[in-house]
Structure 1
Amino acid sequence: MSDTPTYPVDARNRVKRRHDRGFYDHATVHGLLDAAALCHVSYVIDGLPYCTPTLFWREDTTLYWHGSSASRMLRNLSDGQPACLTVTHLDSLVLARCGFNHSADYRSVMAFGQARLVTDPAEKRRALVMMVDRFFPHRTGGLRASTEQEIKATAVVSMEIERASAKIRAKGVADDEEDYALPIHAERLPVHTVIGAPEPCPRRLPGVERSADLAAYREGRPLEDALREAYAAAYG
C-alpha cells in the first residue's frame, strides 16, 4: 500500500473517461493548484447554477478565495454550500488528421467541498494578508494598512477539499494508426502563459524602485513557475 497522501475517490471525483489521465494524490493536485492564480468556482443557489472566476490560494488542504461582501453568491455561503473549484493549464492545441482526434494537451483540477464564509475576525485578517502575500511574498508589510471599511467590504471564503481529481493529457498528436499514411498535415501548437515586461504606475513617486521580492515575476518567465516560487516563499 502506498503512503502517498491521496484524496478519497468515489463517483463524485473519479475520472470517468480515460482513467489513465486521472490523478488523485495530493502532490499532483496541489502542484497544479499552486501553479495557477485564477480559478472558477461553481455553486447551485436557489436551484440556479453560477460560476465565478476569481483569484484563489491554498493552505494545506484548504482553499481560499475572496469577493465583494455584497455578492449574492457569497452571502449564501454563511451556512456552507457544496462547491466545485476548477483550474486548467492549457499546454497545447493539437491538430490531427481527422476532426475526431483534434484535441488539446492540458492539466486540470476539480476540487469539491463545502464553501463557507470566513467570519472569525482574526482568520479573516490573516487570510486577507495571504490574499496578497501568497502571490507576492512579504508585500503586505510594506503597504498601507487596509481600513476597517475595506475589510468589511471584502468577503473571504474557505473550502476544505473533501474530494479532488487532476486530469492530464500530454500526448500531442495521436491519430488512428491507418491515418498516419494520409497526406494531411498534423501538428502540436504549444501554448505558454509568460510574464510580460513590468509596466510601472505612471504616477509612481521619484526614487521608488521595484522591490527585489518581485524578482520571480520577470519578463519572459512562465507564470506558473513564478507562482510556484511565490507559494514556496510564502508557505515554506
Structure 2
Amino acid sequence: MPQPKAPSPRTTVKRIPQRANYESETIYQILDEGLVCHIGFIADGQPVVIPTAYGRVEDTLYIHGSPASRMLRSLQQGIDVCITVTLIDGLVLARSAFHHSMNYRSVVIFGKATLIEDAAQKLAALQAFTEHIILGRWQEVRSPNHQELSRTIVLSLPLTEASAKIRTGGPIDDELDYQIPVWAGEIPLKFTAAVPINDAKLAPNIAVPTNLKNYTRPQKLD
C-alpha cells in the first residue's frame, strides 16, 4: 500500500493548504488520468516550460523524445526540474467576478531526471507510454525496433518529491453577495472521446477495437 509522502519545503502547499494532498495513491491517480505534463527548467539562463506526454511505472515518471530535443538534452545533465499535471473538473461560477474559480486536481513534482540506458528498462518505459494513452495497445502493435530505440531518449524522474492540490465544491461568495439575484454554481467538465476515424489506408476488414470504441480515461477517486 503506497504511503503518504512527507512534504518537502518545495512541495508543501502554502496557498490554501487544506487543499493539499500528499497521498501517493491520489498523486498516482491524477498522473494516470492526465495525458500531458508541463516540464519547467532553466536552459541557457532562461526559464522554459514544455508540454509533453509521459508514462508512470510505480513511483517513477518517464518522459521521452528525440535526441535533438533541447529539453531532453538539458534534463539529462542532472539539472533541477519541475513537472506539473492539471485536470480541470468544472467551472465554478460565483455571484461576484472575484470569486469565480475552477475545480481541479493537480500534481507538482520536483527532482532531477536520469538517462535510461538499459535496453530492457527503456523498452518497458516505452510500453508504459503507450499503455498510458491506450490501455492494451502495446499488445496490438509492432514494438519499437533497434533503430527506433536508438533514436529515442528516455529519462526517468522519481516521484519522491511530489504533492497534489485539489479543489471541489461550489462557489464561496462573500456573505453579502448571496443576496445578488444571479445564478451561481458549477458547470462540471468531463473528458469525452468522439467516434474513432479510420485511417485512409486502413484495410476494410479491420474493425475498431472495443478498447478504442469505448475509450475513456481512468476515473477519479471518490
Q: TM-score, normalised by structure 2?
A: 0.90
- In structure 2, the CA distance between the partners of 1:152 and 1:193, relative to structure 1 (3 Å rule), is same
98, 101, 104: which one pairs with 1:103?
101
- In structure 2, the CA distance between the partners of 1:177 and 1:12, relative to structure 1 (3 Å rule), is same
The whole-number CA distance in structure 1 between the counterparts of 2:58 and 2:6 is: 16
**Greater share of residues in helix:** 1
Instruction: List aligned pairs for 1:51-200, cutoff 5 A.
Output: 51-200=49-198
CA positional deviation for 1:54: 1.1
Gaps of 5+ in 2: none
198, 201, 204: which one pairs with 1:203?
201
SS in 2 for 1:112: strand
CA positional deviation for 1:177: 1.6
CA positional deviation for 1:29: 0.9
The whole-number CA distance in structure 2 between the counterparts of 1:120 and 1:169 is: 40
- In structure 2, the CA distance between the partners of 1:125 and 1:54, relative to structure 1 (3 Å rule), is same
- In structure 2, the CA distance between the partners of 1:89 and 1:134, relative to structure 1 (3 Å rule), is closer
The whole-number CA distance in structure 2 between the counterparts of 1:134 and 1:183 is: 45
Question: Quick check: 1:109–1:164 contact (8 Å CA) kept in 2?
Answer: yes
The whole-number CA distance in structure 1 between the counterparts of 2:210 and 2:179 is: 55
15, 35, 58: which one pairs with 1:17?
15
- In structure 2, the CA distance between the partners of 1:105 and 1:213, relative to structure 1 (3 Å rule), is closer
Residues 54-100 of structure 1, C-alpha deviation per residue, up to 9 Å, x if partnerless? 11111111001111111122112333222111111111112212222
SS in 2 for 1:99: coil
- In structure 2, the CA distance between the partners of 1:4 and 1:162, relative to structure 1 (3 Å rule), is closer
CA positional deviation for 1:50: 1.3
- In structure 2, the CA distance between the partners of 1:180 and 1:142, relative to structure 1 (3 Å rule), is closer
Q: Does 1:7 align with 2:23?
A: no
Gaps of 5+ in 1: 229-236
Instruction: List aligned pairs for 1:8-47, cutoff 5 A.
Output: 8-47=6-45
Instruction: Report the aligned-residue RMSD.
Output: 2.2
The whole-number CA distance in structure 2 between the counterparts of 1:104 and 1:134 is: 26
Percent identity for Structure 1 against Structure 2: 38
Instruction: Out of 142-151 and 184-193, give the one that drifted further.
Output: 142-151
Question: Quick check: 2:56–2:129 contact (8 Å CA) kept in 1?
Answer: no
SS in 1 for 2:40: strand
Question: Quick check: 1:80–1:117 contact (8 Å CA) kept in 2?
Answer: no
Residues 97-148 of structure 1, C-alpha deviation per residue, up to 9 Å, x if partnerless? 2222111111111111211221222211222232213333443343234333
Q: TM-score, normalised by structure 1?
A: 0.85
